[in-house]
DNA sequence: CGGTATCCCTCCCGATACTG
DNA sequence: CAGTATCGGGAGGGATACCG
């Protein structure tokens, strides 16, 4: 039932592009990670992920709810209370996200090293007769 | 040697943030995927991934080379020829990328469904007394 | 408390033109 | 062929103020 083999990420309309841009979003992954083990309220989320502006968090949340990855439950109380939790679908996203996290844990050092080396080269060589 | 357990993605300086933003980049993943099985020249890459402007591809490639994920080899010929290939480090990135691809292959349908349902709700209910 | 409305500003992206 | 230079538009991110 998977149509995995006919996926072509080079097509602009490819679904993987959609997911990729989602993951690349500044706050999406943080929200999902924050909800990994707990149900959180709006301001709790804000505190946990360090989101500066409520607008941004609100946007992120709405997009996640729209895509069925997070569910929103509001209580008719005073003061109002709203809880966000991962849906089953949202929980499945934890796997690929963690694959990325694991890669970062293992290889970021290499990337940083490579970057330093490249920057040194630029500073000395390509800087062009700067001494 | 891995320091995986002390990784906190909620820290702004966390390495996983760096990798995430990399993956979210518009062209980075496409370039890596394009170089998966072959060595390609600049214009071949452009054709394959459908990058419209050379500037953008150039930027992407420079960043990838800087981070040690792609290597660049130029030949002193006329006309000039430049080949790009994945480094060993870059090849390791294929794993997490593929995890995301696989997720997309399996679950994008669900996301699209959820999105449609949510949009219908908005159109009928939240549109607000539109009839 | 849980958002929305508004404004600003930066960064990314893209097209075009030009150079080695 | 393989880029760089320049310019411009648009989306996204962020701070602040305000509303239910």
On the question of pLDDT at B5 being above 50, the answer is: no
Cβ B74 to strand D below 7 Å: yes
Query: What is the separation, in whole angstroms, between the first and last Cα of chain B?
Result: 64
Residues B76, B100: one domain?
Answer: no
What is the C-alpha separation between B66 and B72, in angstroms, rounded?
Answer: 10
B80 nearest nucleotide via C1' and CA: D1
Residues B24, B57: one domain?
Answer: yes
Residue A46 lies in domain: 4-87
The per-residue pLDDT for B22 is 87
Residues B77, B18: one domain?
Answer: yes
The whole-model pTM stands at 0.88
CB pairs under 8 A between A and B: 166
Q: Which residue is listed with tokens 């290889």?
A: A107
On the question of pLDDT at A123 being above 80, the answer is: no
Residue partners of A12: CB distance under 8 A and separation at least 6? B50
Residues A77, A112: one domain?
Answer: no
Total domains, chain A: 2
Domain containing residue B76: CATH number: 1.10.10.10
A41 burial via Cβ count (<10 Å: 0-12, 13-18, 19+): middle
> Rounded to a whole number, what is the distance in Å from the CA of A79 to chain B's nearest CA?
23
Residues B63, B127: one domain?
Answer: no
Q: CA angle at residue A87 from A84 to A91, to 5 degrees?
A: 110
Q: CA angle at residue B66 from B88 to A93, to 5 degrees?
A: 65
User: Do B111 and A69 meet the contact criterion of CB atoms below 8 Å apart?
Assistant: yes
Residues A82, A104: one domain?
Answer: no
Residues A98, A79: one domain?
Answer: no
The per-residue pLDDT for A4 is 41
The per-residue pLDDT for B91 is 98
pLDDT tens digit sequence for B71-82: 999 999 999 999
Residues B63, B11: one domain?
Answer: yes
Residues A17, A74: one domain?
Answer: yes
């Amino acid at each position: 039932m998977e149509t995995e083999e006919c996926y072509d990420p080079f097509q602009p309309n490819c679904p993987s592009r959609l997911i990729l841009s989602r993951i690349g979003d500044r706050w999406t992954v943080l929200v999902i990670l924050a909800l990994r083990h707990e149900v959180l309220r709006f301001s709790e989320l804000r505190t946990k992920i360090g989101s500066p502006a409520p607008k941004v968090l609100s946007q992120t949340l709405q997009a996640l709810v729209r895509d069925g990855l997070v569910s929103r439950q509001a209580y008719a109380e005073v003061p109002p209370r709203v809880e966000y939790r991962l849906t089953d679908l949202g929980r499945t996203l934890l796997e690929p996200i963690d694959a990325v996290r694991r890669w970062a844990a293992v290889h970021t050092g290499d990337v940083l090293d490579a970057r330093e080396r490249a920057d040194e080269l630029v500073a000395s060589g390509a800087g062009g007769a700067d001494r």
